[in-house]
Amino acid sequence: MEMTMQGYIEEAEKDLLHAYNRYQIVLDRGDGVYLYDTDGKKYLDFCAGIAVFALGYGNREYNDALKSQIDKIIHTSNYYYNVPAVQAARKLKAASGMDRVFFTNSGAEAVEGALKAARKYAYLKDGCTDHEIIAMNHSFHGRTFGALSVTGNPKYREPFEPMIGHVKFGELNDFESVEALVTDKTCAVILETVQGEGGLHPASGEFLRRVRKLCREKDILMILDEIQCGMGRTGYLYAWQRYDVKPDLMTTAKALGCGVPVGAFLMTEHVARHSLAAGDHGTTYGGNPLVCAAVEKVLDLFEKGHIIDNVREVGPYLEKRLDELKDRYGFILERRGLGLMQGLVFDRPVREIIDRALERGLILINAGTQIIRFVPPLVITKENVDEMISILDTCLKDEAPAGRQD
């Protein structure tokens, strides 16, 4: 006998570590920009698995590419070459403008690799192991120890201290705060081109250019974290391309594989020649044939489906419709973001609003306690935006009247 949705939830709570406060639905399948739970209820998805499923659900060409690779070989080892890794790396290099690729299992692992490359680069210059890294307040780079050490939110770090050490925090878009932290021990500056978890804050072009110039003058490596904002989400394949500020190292994941667990860190040829060497870094699953078949097909489908063109068309429309909500309700303080990576800032916690939206068939997520984040599949249409706004507007009407602005 098939289990009920509540039965699945109860079993999960018995067996899985309670590391998430999950929403009380069990998702079962997807089609386009919609998801369905085990009871058959339909949801418009404006989360995309946290900015992962860029192509939407049930893309036949994507699915067929994975099925074909499964029938060939899923995994070997990085002791050997495999064709999908070679082809995926070549296409990712061409799309990103970077020179060398290391495939990982996740975004956090990509950050770990980039940090190691930066530390090794500095070590080869002076033989010292006390080099410093400058990160940004309100940033989020992952949950592993290295990535957590450069995450600029104490609530994530404090229970697990001590961190890796020699990390300082500046302010995004405040160049002087970064410049003041630089010493002769600084080996890297790491930042998200658009902060995601930290509140949908884009880095300004001027800030990026000044940090780039500083790093070049001091022989400091600039690391841009494009795990969430990359892969077309801001209207460029990578957000730094909007400003033509090429980093020394870059991290990418999430929509890179559109569902399979894959990330990568990329670097310039100069960094590759003066940092990690054979034996310095490794991964069992990273870059295996299955995930690289996905990466290769995703990059093909981005081009074939004109995905970035769609972001540039629908993104401004999403901004316009969100601005209309902001103007309608006094408890919405601000809209910010780029492309199809947007946030509404409220004067109150948003969990109840997200819960009401879920009841009405709309999947949203937060970014902190007072921000609703909108990171839908990149194939959404203006009609999908209208549908989302209609549902969300209904949810906002249930908020306290004292917060209304008529």
Please report, in tens digits, the pLDDT of each residue of the chain (406 residues total). 578 999 999 899 999 999 888 999 999 999 999 999 999 999 999 999 999 999 999 999 999 999 999 999 999 999 999 999 999 999 999 999 999 999 999 999 999 999 999 999 999 999 999 999 999 999 999 999 999 999 999 999 999 999 999 999 999 999 999 999 999 999 999 999 999 988 899 999 999 999 999 999 999 999 999 999 999 999 999 999 999 999 999 999 999 999 999 999 999 999 999 999 999 999 999 999 999 999 999 999 999 999 999 999 999 999 999 999 999 999 999 999 999 999 999 999 999 999 999 999 999 999 989 999 999 999 999 999 999 999 999 999 987 664 444 4
* 162 SS3 class: coil
Residues 6+ apart with CB under 8 A from 287: 78, 82, 85, 102, 103, 104, 262
Cα–Cα distance measured from residue 8 to residue 390, given in angstroms and rounded to the nearest whole number: 31
In this predicted structure, what is the pLDDT of residue 401? 62
What's the CATH code, domain 73-304? 3.40.640.10
Structure tokens at 261: 């667990």
CATH 3.40.50.300 fits 5-59+306-403, yes or no: no
In this predicted structure, what is the pLDDT of residue 1? 56
Number of Cβ within 10 Å of residue 263's Cβ equals 27
In this predicted structure, what is the pLDDT of residue 404? 44
CA nearest 256: which of 241, 237, 269?
237
Q: Which residue has the tokens 């499964």?
A: 70
In this predicted structure, what is the pLDDT of residue 123? 97
Check: CB of residue 365 under 8 Å from CB of residue 375. yes
| Own/partner long-range contacts of 125-128 (Cβ < 8 Å, ≥24 apart) | 125/219, 128/185
Q: Where are the domains of the chain?
A: 5-59+306-403, 73-304
Check: CB of residue 88 under 8 Å from CB of residue 295. yes
Cα–Cα distance measured from residue 229 to residue 400, given in angstroms and rounded to the nearest whole number: 33
